[in-house]
Chain A
Amino acid sequence: MRLGSLIFALMLGISIFAIPQNDAIAFTEQQISRGAYGDDVIELQARLQYLGFYKSKIDGKFGYNTYWALRNFQEKYGLPVDGIAGAKTKKTLSGNSDYDEAWVKAQLNAGNQFTYYGGKPLEQQVKTNTGGGGGGKSSGSSNNNGTKTQVPPKYTEKDVQLIANAVYGESRGEPYEGQVAVAAVILNRLESPEFPNTISGIIFQPLAFTAVADGQIWLEPNERAKEAVIDAMNGWDPSENALYYFNPKTATSKWIWSRPQIKQIGEHIFCS
């Protein structure tokens, strides 16, 4: 009798775990809309793609591609068309689609190109990342950080990466404010007619940054440097419109001392 109960409990346990994750519980209770990012958005995109509404890359960023796909889904299923994934929308979506979270996350973590259309074997929807990139229409994040950054449309993730490299190479020992200020100087140069008009042109302008000259720009930036770049891209400028900065202890150029100074943050003096 005791053995029978044990087997029953075991079977019940197995059956609970075997239920496909296709109900509303899979989503969190949060209402999500444009601007959101993360696991809920990954699930939303995957389920919308499963039903054929979402055709872009599953990247966990709730942008316009997700927005239109969601609106089309809402229209088709007789829901209020607002482009917001609330409880009712999530429930309807979950009830009509399947979501293999483990598989989707595995593809994202591996940096694979993949899609998640329903009715097609998953193994046929993935192109394994071999590190050399790949042609064709891509889906899925290119790396783990792909879902970590959302910036104003005029900037790209490549810009974030490049400036973060410069910030880390130039000012990793500085306070956070000083790191945001270094990123802001690069962005201020982008607006100034006196400097090249691309981020890469500014950073790699010969002799413009010490980190380029001594190779420290190639160090892998940490999350703090990336966060500093994101803040600068969103408008913060602790340098107060500076175009230059220098370390008074190490600067050899006399010219830099002639620039009008604005403020000092940590070891750097910022000037216009």
Chain B
Amino acid sequence: MLVILTVAVIGLGAYSFQMHKENTSLQRTVLAQYTNNLTDASEKLSGLQQAVSQSLLFQDDQAMNNELDAVWRLSSEVRSSLSNIPVGQEVSNEWLSYLGRLGDEAKRTEKTGDYQAWREKMPQVSTNLQSLSDEWTVATVDLYKNNGNMDVWVQQVDNTKPNTTFDNVQKTLKDYSEKDFPLTLSESDWQKKIELKALQDSVITEKEALEKVKKLFPKIKDATFTVTKSSDTAPYPFYHIQFHQGIRLGYIDLTEKGGHLLSYLVERPVDEARLSQDEIKKKAEEYLKRLGMNDVAFVESRENHQAWHLTFARVHPGDNALIYADGVQLKLAKDTGELLGANAMEYIQEEKIKPQTAKAIDWKTFFDDDVKIGEVKNIYTDNGQFEQRLCYEVIAVRDKNTQETFRVVIDAENHNVIKVEYLT
């Protein structure tokens, strides 16, 4: 008996020793990766500051562009390293935002050729980066003195134990971010859009919201509803209406101002497909009419194992171009074509489109000889700088044999290529 017990104790001891060894080894591997990323980020941060300084040396466009490329590349690399180390979420957010904005500015300058604006702004950014780099070095010095122990890292992100050096970095970053890269007019408009600031309608009551839901979605008019209001701190107030009716369980969000539909989604078992693609599309168009969306046109549809997702976009009344930012999406069940979802968050915030002119493009010279044009559509879309631009959306096919298909979006006025997407 004693022998068995002794063997068991020895076995258990050996097992826990082995486990401890494996854990320590794993911890050291992770710690080594974190330390590597931290060192990498710190070194590249210094390189980034130098690249910003160097960009102020040149008058020559080509030399300037090389430095701008370096700023963009290094800012992206530091972002990547920083996002792989466990520092507090706030510090991480501020860092990623600051570096992203710096990289975007470099890219935009290279694209627009507005070197003067860059030269005016960057001396201050270079100084700020230097001081940030110094503060970062101070804040992270403890992380190198960890004796192979993960606890030091864990303490850095434990918000119950404040760390003043990291707090300083975060505060400085926030301050520099606001001063060095203030929101542009377009960004501020975009932010207002996200917060639904444009809605000026009068507030509806909870009862009115429920009546509207029953009118928009008669299928669930007899459901059991639970209505809650969004939190007081939500950027825009809305009613969150959850419902349950037999096999259906879902929600509807309606804005408090005007009772506009934000989104609707229902979950229920779906049987085998019985409707054709064409019938689904016709049903979707009927639903849109009932939802009061009469100014939209079909963009695309995708079939999945339970449902179809269809996208529509508002048609510009002036030139009939599709405004992709004013899109609405529907989800229809494959068995009966029942409306399982509607998303109108973008549609209810109608874009204000500035007048623009379309200049014709000779596709033969624009594209390579090997490229065939499939379709050309006029659309309005974001140019990456929060501006809605009139564009040509071209479906281009390359190479007769492989028939690779691309969606190319080209600004109709200045002919800049805004987006290229590979389609399968």
Contact = CB atoms under 8 A, between A and B. Distances in A.
Nearest to B346: A235
Nearest to B406: A64
Given A153-B407, A261-B233, A196 B424 contact: no
Interface in B232-256: 233-236, 238, 240, 242, 249-251, 253
A44 interface: no
B250 A207 contact: no
Given A63-B424, A150-B302, A231-B265, A238 B85 contact: no
A45 B395 CA distance: 21
A105 to B, nearest CB: 16
Nearest to B300: A35
Given A30-B276, A32-B277, A68 B405 contact: yes
Given A201-B83, A231-B331, A263-B234, A177 B265 contact: yes
A16 B231 CA distance: 67
A37 B251 contact: no
A175 B250 CA distance: 9
A238 B79 contact: no
B231 A30 contact: no
Interface in B81-109: 83-86, 88-90, 92-94, 96-97, 100-101
Contacts of A252: 160
Given A37-B303, A193-B96, A263 B85 contact: no
Q: Helix, strand, loop or mixed for chain B's interface?
A: mixed
A238 B308 CA distance: 19
Contacts, number: 174
A31 B86 CA distance: 53
B234 A177 contact: no
Contact of A205 (B83, B159, B277): B83
Contacts of B304: 37, 148-150, 227, 230
Contacts of A260: 231, 233-235
A32 B306 CA distance: 17
Contact of A206 (B85, B97, B329, B423): B85
Interface in A185-199: 193-197
B7 interface: no
Interface string A126-153: 0000000000000000000000111111
- Which of B309, B341, B397, B423 has its CB near the most chain A CB atoms (within 10 A)? B309
Contacts of A104: none
Given A36-B277, A65-B424, A236-B341, A263 B228 contact: yes
Interface of A: 30-38, 55-56, 61, 63-65, 68-69, 148-154, 175-177, 180, 193-197, 201, 205-208, 223, 227, 230-231, 234-238, 240-241, 252-255, 260-264, 271-272
Interface of B: 34, 79-80, 83-86, 88-90, 92-94, 96-97, 100-101, 157, 159-160, 194, 228, 230-231, 233-236, 238, 240, 242, 249-251, 253, 262-263, 265, 267, 273, 276-278, 300-306, 308-309, 311, 327, 329, 331, 341, 343, 345-346, 374, 395, 397, 401-403, 405, 407, 421-424
Listed from nearest, the 5 A-B pairs whose CB atoms lie closest are: A206-B86, A260-B233, A64-B405, A194-B93, A261-B231
